[in-house]
Amino acid sequence: MIPVKVRELAEILNAEFFGDSEIEIKKPVPPEEAGVEDTTFLFDPKFDKEGETGVVISTFKPQNLRSRALILVKEKDEALVTVLKHFERKREPRKFPGILTYLDTEAQLEEGVLVYPHTYISRGVHIGKGSVIFPFVFIDEDVTIGRNVIIHPFVFVGYDVKIGDNVVIHSGSVIGADGFGFYRTEKGYIKIPQIGNIEIEEDCEIGANCTIDRATIGTTRIRRGVKLDDQVHVAHNVELGEHTVIAAQTGIAGSTKVGKWVMMGGQVGVSDHIEVGDNAIILAKSGVSKSVPPGGIFSGYFARDRRKLLKIMALQDKLPELFKRVKILEEKLGKAENNTKKD
């Protein structure tokens, strides 16, 4: 990591700066933890509390938090990414004793590939330039891995899987397990062979302990720019559209097609053989049992349009009172009927 000073960072960010321009930027800490020598971000006025720190990177001028230098940025997300990338750990290529790694003679590694000890790379594997394979990764036969891919420890990559450039796969994920396919007989369930594959396009990130199942026939597709949180399950023959993001513990059943720029919260369950339209938002803990049109916000079990669901929930709160009123009306009607019979 090359040291950078306040004035240099301000120039990189195309931002104004105030105070001491020669202070060296340190690894940022949260504002509530920042001490007098630290660097911190301040993008929300609620964190602008009495205190003193070294350097503040902010979208506004703090009223309470004092600092030796202030970098005033226009776009918080761009500033955040730029600064954090500067402090991100870089891994330089180095050679390890080959005795601890199995590399098949028919596997091909391009220039600058870093393979750590205790990995298994099978026949027909091709790994692109600049990729990093961490320890205890198993890569099965005929896998194609693009350039600048990072595969973290304890990942399994099954046969015939294709992974594009700039993909990150975090620890414990399984890419290419058999899809969940069986048919029922009087004697029990018979397994349906899963002979398809998986394609993960460029710029995707797969969180820790995710499972992406190979297709029964054909391909399970993860399109460009998809981001999966930890413990997401993608079943056989699913397609996730470009730039879709899915939070933890969500499961998507077989042959479902999810559109572009879809957002799913945590613990969402999506049924099989349905479609989720582009730009749809599925809130946490929703159960999606039928196709969802583009652009809406959906929640609940079974998932419904959010506005409609809120109206239903508001009416549900009134049900006890409504029940009482109906009971009173029934009693009055009963008395009226009795009086009519007497007459």
pLDDT of residue 342: 61
Measured CA to CA, the distance from residue 102 to residue 96 in angstroms comes to 12
User: Cis peptide before 156, with omega less than 30 degrees from 0?
Assistant: no
Is residue 34 scored above 70 in pLDDT? yes
**Dihedral of the CA atoms 216, 219, 225, 227 (nearest 10)?**
10
- Lowest mean pLDDT, pick from 83-92, 149-158, 170-179: 83-92
114-124: pLDDT as tens digits:
999 999 999 99
pTM attached to this predicted model: 0.84
Measured CA to CA, the distance from residue 141 to residue 309 in angstroms comes to 49
Q: Which residue, among 254, 251, 120, 249, has the nearest Cα to 194 in the 3D structure?
A: 254
Enzyme catalytic residues: 236
User: Taking a C-beta distance cutoff of 8 angstroms, is the pair 165, 172 a contact?
Assistant: no
Measured CA to CA, the distance from residue 193 to residue 5 in angstroms comes to 59
Q: Which DSSP helix (H) or strand (E) runs through 157?
A: strand 156-157
pLDDT of residue 38: 92
Is residue 307 scored above 80 in pLDDT? no
Instruction: Summarize the confidence of residues 194-201 as an average pLDDT.
Output: 98
**How many residues does this entry show for the chain?**
343
Is residue 341 scored above 70 in pLDDT? no
Q: Which DSSP helix (H) or strand (E) runs through 332?
A: helix 319-342
Q: Which residue, among 205, 93, 221, 73, has the nearest Cα to 149 in the 3D structure?
A: 205
Is residue 143 scored above 70 in pLDDT? yes
Q: How far out from the chain centre does Cα 252 lie?
A: 14
Is residue 327 scored above 90 in pLDDT? no
Is residue 13 scored above 70 in pLDDT? yes
- 98-306: CATH topology is UDP N-Acetylglucosamine Acyltransferase; domain 1 (2.160.10)
266-294: pLDDT as tens digits:
999 999 999 999 999 999 999 999 999 99
Q: Which residues contact 189 (CB under 8 A, 6 or more apart)?
A: 182, 183
User: Taking a C-beta distance cutoff of 8 angstroms, is the pair 91, 112 a contact?
Assistant: no
Confidence of residue 172 (pLDDT cuts 50, 70, 90): very high
Tokens 């870093």 correspond to 114
pLDDT of residue 312: 76
pLDDT of residue 265: 96
- Lowest mean pLDDT, pick from 210-214, 255-259, 299-303: 299-303
Please report, for residues 129, 140, 187, the alpha-carbon distance to residue 104 in angstroms, rounded to integers and kept in the order given.
Answer: 18, 11, 42
Hey, what CATH class is 6-87 in? Answer: alpha beta
Q: Which residue, among 77, 119, 125, 112, has the nearest Cα to 98 in the 3D structure?
A: 119
Tokens 């420890």 correspond to 153
Is residue 308 scored above 70 in pLDDT? yes
60-96: pLDDT as tens digits:
999 999 999 999 999 999 999 999 998 888 766 666 6
pLDDT of residue 301: 78
Measured CA to CA, the distance from residue 198 to residue 219 in angstroms comes to 5
Burial pattern 195-211, b for ≥16 Cβ within 10 A else e, equals ebbbbbbbbbbbbbbbb
Is residue 343 scored above 70 in pLDDT? no
Is residue 168 scored above 80 in pLDDT? yes
Which pair of structure tokens corresponds to residue 209?
């302990």
Measured CA to CA, the distance from residue 260 to residue 222 in angstroms comes to 11
Is residue 302 scored above 80 in pLDDT? no
Domain ranges of the chain: 6-87, 98-306, 308-343
